[in-house]
């Protein structure tokens, strides 16, 4: 396959509500993003994945859309959206929109019309069923946001299906009229010159509700190929599907270019590893490097010949990378850099979630009243009612709750972290006076400048883009090491992901009388031979001398 721009790209994810508030109403907006494009150009990213900015009653912070072709008033206007696309483009940055078509808002005209009458031409855009024999929900399927996945509509005496909140009714993708309407909307945005789509819970659109099949339904890949032909074909754009159900083999089906579906998917195996089998994300399990490396190597191998990986530690639904996989205290900076180095050295497209580039940590709010996320608040209420203790639930929320990623971006040490003139919609991280963008830009050794160098390196080192991946030290509990080779060039990526000094015998593949250091955040290694001593969270990428 001819190399695609997005294979060598680094994508920056923006959660608009929390990025930058330009008009002082406590909520981030498009003007705030436009004002920070120079910052992102300095960082060196090639694309922005923009979480939803569409018209929405904000029941789920925009993932509940009431008009796909208009902008939420609190975020700005369509004109500002076009300015963002143009101004980002002038800086070589493409805008990747969030496509949320598993469901709409219950305020979307399609649903308002559908609910108004059984004869509505939009009734079949949604999934309606008769009550169960006891007059209750048709079955016991659950919503991800707690409670039943069925909501009763007294007017029609029927239930509608919603895998997320009851204000996010699922679209019925068995209805071709839904396909046409969504394809028309996608082409409307693509014709505006966007760089592609991130596709929300796209593995759920092939659901067969009556068979209780939600993820990875039998028609899913057919729907994606149809969508590709109707919208993406012939356009040099990127598509990344959010697929919680994906396996390495499944990812190959999604991203093998010969199948003409997607460019890549987000898989979450490395995330759910730290979740409790019974209690899920609400009981956090420690991060185990060996298990993590096993997952990474399986995905790297599965997509080596065809398909493509996405690479990420965090996003707007996940805790901060340093808090989850690194060290929030003494080694916050070193662990942030080490996590970045070992992730960006892999084969795939790296994603940087806003704030990750300055090493932000989870906020650890004291009270449940400080949290805003619908999933967190719903599950808090539901699990406490089911007997879970407040302490245990708060521990789960502090470890894995989605608001961990949604605190306002701290631009400087001024009030509200320089996010905006008014008190933000959610409290800032308590440490914004120390950990903020202004401080990071001013410090050449900061996490920010490490990310800038790392992103630059990917542009200069084709072996980091297309090089083969070869894992090393699979069973080592603290060190993550692997080779990337392209042509005669051999790069080694080595990282100690522990707060301890580690010493180990070098694997033969790493023996190199002299090395060319490409990036390191402790002293640059000059050679690799015999034994290797690594300081806490030390990591580097070096070019090995050609084999004798």
Q: Which does 23 bind (CB under 5 to 8 A by kind): Ca ion, ligand TEU, none?
A: Ca ion
- Tell me which stretch binds Ca ion (CB under 5 A): 15-23, 106-114, 349-357, 434-442: 15-23
Q: Is 113 a binder of Ca ion (CB under 5 A)?
A: no
- Choose between 317 and 509: whose C-beta lies nearer to ligand TEU: 317
Binding mask 209-248 for ligand TEU (x = CB under 6 A): ---------------------------------x-x----
Maximum Cα interatomic distance, the chain, rounded to a whole number of Å: 79
As a whole number of angstroms, the distance between CA 526 and CA 506 comes to: 15
What are the Cα distances from residue 447, in Å, to 152, 159, 180, 400? 50, 50, 45, 23
Residue 296 exposed, middle or buried by CB count within 10 Å (0-12, 13-18, 19+): buried
Out of 11, 96, 100, 510, point to the residue binding ligand TEU (CB under 6 A): 100
Q: Which does 339 bind (CB under 5 to 8 A by kind): Ca ion, ligand TEU, none?
A: none
Q: How far is CA 395 from the centre of its chain?
A: 23
The CB-of-25 to Ca ion minimum distance in angstroms stands at: 4
- Across-strand partners of 504? 532
Out of 10, 14, 27, 437, point to the residue binding Ca ion (CB under 5 A): 27
Active site residues: 200, 242
Q: Is 408 a binder of Ca ion (CB under 5 A)?
A: no
Q: Is 509 a binder of Ca ion (CB under 5 A)?
A: no
- Choose between 29 and 200: whose C-beta lies nearer to ligand TEU: 200
In sign, the C-alpha dihedral spanning 55, 407, 442, 459 is negative
As a whole number of angstroms, the distance between CA 533 and CA 341 comes to: 18
The residue at minimum Cβ distance from ligand TEU is: 63
Are the C-beta atoms of residues 458 and 464 closer than 8 Å to each other?
Answer: yes
Q: Is 54 a binder of ligand TEU (CB under 6 A)?
A: no
As a whole number of angstroms, the distance between CA 199 and CA 254 comes to: 12
As a whole number of angstroms, the distance between CA 520 and CA 501 comes to: 16
Q: Which does 27 bind (CB under 5 to 8 A by kind): ligand TEU, Ca ion, none?
A: Ca ion
Out of 12, 160, 164, 482, point to the residue binding ligand TEU (CB under 6 A): 164
Q: Is 21 a binder of Ca ion (CB under 5 A)?
A: yes
Phi, then psi, of 538 in degrees rounded to 5: -80, 140
Q: Which does 25 bind (CB under 5 to 8 A by kind): ligand TEU, Ca ion, none?
A: Ca ion
What are the Cα distances from residue 398, in Å, to 279, 366, 391, 402? 15, 9, 10, 9
Residue 291 exposed, middle or buried by CB count within 10 Å (0-12, 13-18, 19+): middle
- Choose between 25 and 41: whose C-beta lies nearer to Ca ion: 25
- Choose between 98 and 478: whose C-beta lies nearer to ligand TEU: 98
Helix axes 374-385, 390-400, angle to 10 degrees: 160
Q: Is 150 a binder of ligand TEU (CB under 6 A)?
A: no
The CB-of-201 to ligand TEU minimum distance in angstroms stands at: 5
The CB-of-168 to ligand TEU minimum distance in angstroms stands at: 6
Out of 200, 356, 357, 543, point to the residue binding ligand TEU (CB under 6 A): 200
Q: Is 144 a binder of ligand TEU (CB under 6 A)?
A: yes
- Choose between 29 and 151: whose C-beta lies nearer to Ca ion: 29
- Choose between 108 and 402: whose C-beta lies nearer to ligand TEU: 402
Q: Which does 164 bind (CB under 5 to 8 A by kind): Ca ion, ligand TEU, none?
A: ligand TEU
Out of 60, 151, 158, 327, point to the residue binding ligand TEU (CB under 6 A): 60
Footprint of ligand TEU on residues 384-443 (CB under 6 A)? 402
As a whole number of angstroms, the distance between CA 518 and CA 544 comes to: 10
Out of 317, 403, 461, 509, point to the residue binding ligand TEU (CB under 6 A): 317
- Choose between 16 and 326: whose C-beta lies nearer to Ca ion: 16
Other C-beta atoms lying within 10 Å of the C-beta of residue 23: 14
What are the Cα distances from residue 326, in Å, to 175, 286, 316? 46, 11, 18
- Choose between 17 and 402: whose C-beta lies nearer to Ca ion: 17
What are the Cα distances from residue 296, in Å, to 160, 268, 301, 356, 534? 39, 11, 9, 20, 22
What are the Cα distances from residue 321, in Å, to 177, 263, 314, 360? 41, 25, 6, 8
Phi, then psi, of 429 in degrees rounded to 5: -60, 135
Q: Is 25 a binder of Ca ion (CB under 5 A)?
A: yes
Tell me how many residues contact ligand TEU (CB under 6 A).
Answer: 14
Q: Which residues bind Ca ion (CB under 5 A)?
A: 21, 23, 25, 27, 29
Q: Which residues bind ligand TEU (CB under 6 A)?
A: 60, 63, 100, 144, 164, 200-201, 242, 244, 281, 316-317, 375, 402
């Amino acid at each position: 396959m001819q190399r695609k721009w997005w294979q060598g790209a680094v994508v920056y994810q923006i959660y608009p509500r929390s990025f930058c508030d330009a008009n002082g109403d406590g909520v981030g907006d498009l003007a705030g993003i436009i004002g920070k494009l120079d910052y992102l150009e300095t960082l060196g990213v090639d694309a922005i994945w923009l979480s939803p900015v569409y018209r929405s009653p904000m029941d789920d912070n925009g993932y509940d859309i009431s008009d796909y072709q208009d902008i939420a008033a609190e975020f700005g206007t369509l004109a500002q959206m076009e300015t963002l696309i143009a101004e980002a483009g002038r800086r070589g940055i493409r805008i990747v929109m969030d496509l949320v078509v598993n469901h709409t808002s219950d305020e979307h005209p399609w649903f308002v019309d559908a609910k108004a009458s059984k004869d509505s031409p939009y009734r079949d855009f949604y999934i309606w069923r008769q009550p169960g024999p006891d007059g209750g929900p048709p079955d016991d399927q659950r919503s991800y946001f707690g409670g039943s996945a069925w909501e009763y509509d007294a007017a029609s005496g029927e239930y509608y299906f919603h895998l997320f909140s009851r204000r996010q009714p699922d679209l019925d993708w068995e209805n071709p009229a839904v396909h046409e309407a969504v394809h028309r909307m996608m082409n409307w945005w693509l014709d505006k010159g966007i760089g592609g789509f991130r596709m929300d819970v796209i593995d759920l659109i092939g659901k067969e509700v009556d068979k209780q099949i939600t993820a990875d339904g039998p028609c899913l890949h057919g729907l994606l190929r149809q969508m590709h032909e109707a919208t993406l074909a012939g356009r040099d754009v990127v598509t990344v599907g959010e697929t919680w159900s994906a396996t390495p083999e499944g990812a190959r089906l999604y991203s093998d270019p010969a199948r003409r579906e997607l460019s890549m998917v987000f898989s979450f195996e490395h995330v759910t590893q730290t979740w409790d089998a019974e209690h899920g994300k609400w009981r956090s399990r420690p991060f185990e490097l060996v298990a993590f490396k096993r997952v990474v190597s399986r995905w790297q191998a599965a997509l080596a010949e065809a398909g493509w990986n996405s690479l990420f530690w965090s996003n707007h639904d996940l805790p901060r990378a340093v808090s989850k996989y690194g060290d929030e205290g003494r080694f916050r900076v070193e662990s942030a850099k080490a996590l970045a180095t070992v992730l960006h050295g892999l084969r795939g497209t790296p994603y940087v979630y806003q704030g990750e580039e300055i090493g932000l940590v989870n906020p650890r709010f004291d009270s449940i009243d400080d949290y805003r996320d619908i999933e967190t608040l719903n599950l808090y209420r539901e699990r406490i009612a089911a007997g879970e203790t407040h302490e245990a639930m708060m521990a789960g929320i502090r470890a894995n709750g989605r608001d961990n990623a949604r605190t306002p971006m701290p631009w400087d040490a001024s009030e509200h972290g320089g996010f905006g003139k008014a008190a933000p919609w959610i409290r800032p991280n308590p440490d914004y006076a120390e950990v903020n963008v202004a401080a990071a830009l001013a410090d050449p050794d900061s996490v920010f400048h490490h990310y800038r160098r790392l992103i630059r390196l990917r542009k200069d080192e084709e072996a980091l883009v297309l090089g083969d991946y070869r894992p090393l030290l699979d069973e080592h509990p603290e060190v993550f090491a692997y080779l990337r080779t392209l042509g005669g060039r051999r790069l080694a990526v080595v990282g100690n992901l522990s707060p301890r000094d580690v010493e180990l015998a070098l694997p033969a593949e790493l023996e190199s009388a002299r090395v060319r250091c490409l990036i390191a955040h402790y002293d640059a290694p000059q050679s690799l031979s015999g034994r290797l001593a690594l300081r806490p969270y030390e990591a580097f990428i070096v070019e090995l001398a050609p084999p004798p």
